[in-house]
Amino acid sequence: MYFITGLNGAVALSIWVLLFFNLAVNAQVGFKEHIIFLASESLHGRAAGTDDEQKAAGYIGNFLSKQCKAIVTHQQFTYPVDSSTRHPATNVIGVLNRRKRQTIILMAHYDHLGMGSSKALDFSHKNMVHPGADDNASGVAMVMELTRYLSGQKELPFNVIAFFPSAHEEGLFGSEYFVRSGFADSMRLALVMNFDMVGRLDTLSRMLRVGVFSNDSVLVKNIWAHDNDKLHFRSDDSNIEFSDLKYLEALRVPLLHFTTGTHQDYHRASDVAAKINFEGMNSIFDFISGFLRYLGMNNESPVVK
């Protein structure tokens, strides 16, 4: 820890505060832009294996390439629809390779129900567009903006894989294929962070549910230490079997799962962008970006061991 003193120090501190404020503002603007596009009626709910999925994949890949300077891979795979039929789908992967010793994965599935899905819970509206603004355009937007932020933090001692699996709603097939493909086998993985529905932070409780699938005390203690007026934490280790982390568990590294939880619009046509709490997403972004910087600078953390 160090202290800034004197006039020059005050100026430096003011510049730092201004830069951090601009970062937060830019992230919030980015959240809106990404979610409004991904949850638009023109994408018809981003069902896996459709042209709309490909439009979403192109949007994400273009952002990673141009805004984050990441190396982008569109990972093609097929998943079973029934005993005799398989559909094509696409994972989107962006890599910030700084040739560091370790790598972290930030991930969020980008597909949703599309139209007419048997998993829709509003039975009278099954043939309507299910936008999936919170599920999971919010998680996708979070990973996109975190990747943009990390692309400028070149002093941090880790590479970054931004992973956007598809066919999540059909049975976690994208994340299963990613692990079986061995895409990250050549990189020494230190941490996986999954974001699934982070757009509905309650304005009263401000509760972020966190699943920590790790025995690493540094991870656990640091999360709870960030409890403040803007964000509170609730331990929730029950979701791994229903999240894409089910297959990432095979990588044998610490896993973190973040969500603001389900709500009355879950898997319904009413899960729209207008209901997203963008200020709440910004609070989550502030926490995660600071958390990653802490891990990158703490000699006891799993990221720098």
107-145 residue pLDDT tens: 999 999 999 788 999 877 778 999 999 999 999 999 999
Tell me how far apart the alpha carbons of residues 236 and 18 are, in angstroms, rounded to a whole number. Answer: 35
* Contact assessment for residue 169 and residue 112, using Cβ atoms and an 8 Å cutoff: yes
Token duo for residue 42? 């023109």
198-232 residue pLDDT tens: 999 999 999 999 999 887 777 878 888 888 888 99
Domain 6-297 has CATH 3.40.630.10: yes
Checking if the pLDDT of 234 tops 70, the result is yes
244-270 residue pLDDT tens: 999 999 999 999 999 999 999 999 999
Q: How confident is the model at residue 23 (pLDDT cuts 50, 70, 90)?
A: low
Q: How confident is the model at residue 120, as a pLDDT? A: 92
Instruction: Determine how many CB atoms are found less than 10 A away from the CB of residue 233.
Output: 19
The more confidently predicted of residues 5 and 224 is: 224
Burial code of 192-227, b = ≥16 C-beta within 10 A, e = fewer? bbbbbbbbbbeeeebebbbbbbbebebbbebbeebe
153-197 residue pLDDT tens: 989 999 999 999 999 999 999 999 999 999 999 999 999 999 999
Domain ranges of the chain: 6-297
Instruction: Determine how many CB atoms are found less than 10 A away from the CB of residue 278.
Output: 17
Token duo for residue 37? 């596009």
Q: For the residues of 35-100, what is the DSSP string, one character each?
A: HHHHTSGGGTT-BTTSHHHHHHHHHHHHHHHHHS--EEEEEEEEEESSSS-EEEEEEEEEEE----
* Contact assessment for residue 231 and residue 206, using Cβ atoms and an 8 Å cutoff: yes
30-55 residue pLDDT tens: 999 999 999 999 999 999 999 999 99
Token duo for residue 241? 């079997």
Task: Write phi, then psi, for 277 (nearest 5 degrees).
Answer: -90, 90
53-91 residue pLDDT tens: 999 999 999 999 999 999 999 999 999 988 788 999 999
What is the β-pairing status of strands 102-107 and 232-235?
Answer: unpaired
Q: How confident is the model at residue 25, as a pLDDT? A: 54
Kindly report whether the peptide bond that precedes residue 136 is cis, defined as omega within 30 degrees of 0. yes
Q: Collapse the DSSP code of 207 into the 3-class scheme (helix H, G, I; strand E, B; otherwise coil) and give the result.
A: strand
Helix (H) or strand (E) holding 297: helix 278-297
Q: How confident is the model at residue 6, as a pLDDT? A: 44
Candidates 107, 118, 120, 46; CA nearest to 246 is: 107
